């Protein structure tokens, strides 16, 4: 997907997109977040649903807003997996490939993940090391 994207459409994940994604997965959105949840894009996801998020991400009916939200769900789910298992998730490379192919949608999320590194009071997310390693190993593929 290399189409032009309206930045205002995807700057931040939306509750509407989260509710839509959860409904598509057969989950009642009210069971995961409410209107006052400021971090729904990180708290409404579940690591055990990673494969379902990836499958939904690849569906042609998935909107840009849903992909933006799913990017958060996927990265947060991978982070939880890495934190618990101390190794990469079996689908991690496929997730990174998809999100980097759609960097125009996920740039803000990646920037957010990395801008907190080194700031007082912020622990680096374990997934960031895996992302940096993936980028290093795949940057040659992006060269003409």
Which secondary-structure segment (H or E) carries 139?
Answer: none
Please, which residues have CB within 8 angstroms of residue 59's CB and are 6 or more apart in sequence?
A: none
Residue bearing the bigger pLDDT, 5 or 98:
98
Residue 133 to residue 108: CA distance in whole angstroms: 19
| Prediction pTM value | 0.89
Q: Read off the pLDDT of each residue in 45-72 and give the average, rounded to a whole number.
A: 97
CA distances from residue 43 to 9, 67, 102, 128, 144 in whole angstroms, order as listed: 22, 17, 23, 18, 39
User: Do residues 130 and 92 make contact, with C-beta atoms less than 8 angstroms apart?
Assistant: yes
Mean pLDDT of 4-18: 82
- Residues comprising the chain, all counted: 144
**CB atoms < 10 A from the CB of 126, how many?**
15
| DSSP H helices in 1-144 | 7-10, 15-24, 40-43, 50-58, 64-85, 92-101, 103-115, 126-138
Of 2 and 65, which is predicted with more confidence? 65
Residue-wise pLDDT for 61-79, tens only, equals 999 999 999 999 999 999 9
């Amino acid at each position: 997907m290399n189409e032009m994207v309206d930045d205002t459409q995807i700057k931040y994940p939306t509750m509407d997109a989260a509710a839509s994604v959860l409904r598509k997965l057969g989950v009642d959105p009210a069971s995961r977040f409410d209107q006052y949840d400021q971090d729904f894009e990180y708290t409404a996801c579940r690591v055990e649903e990673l494969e379902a998020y990836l499958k939904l991400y690849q569906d042609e009916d998935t909107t840009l807003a849903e992909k933006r939200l799913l990017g958060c769900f996927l990265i947060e789910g991978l982070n939880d997996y890495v934190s618990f298992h101390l190794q990469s998730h079996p689908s991690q490379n496929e997730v990174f490939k998809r999100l980097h192919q759609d960097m125009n949608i996920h740039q803000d999320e990646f920037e957010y993940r990395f801008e907190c590194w080194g700031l007082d009071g912020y622990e680096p997310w374990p997934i960031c090391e895996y992302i940096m390693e993936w980028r290093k190993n795949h940057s040659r593929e992006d060269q003409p």
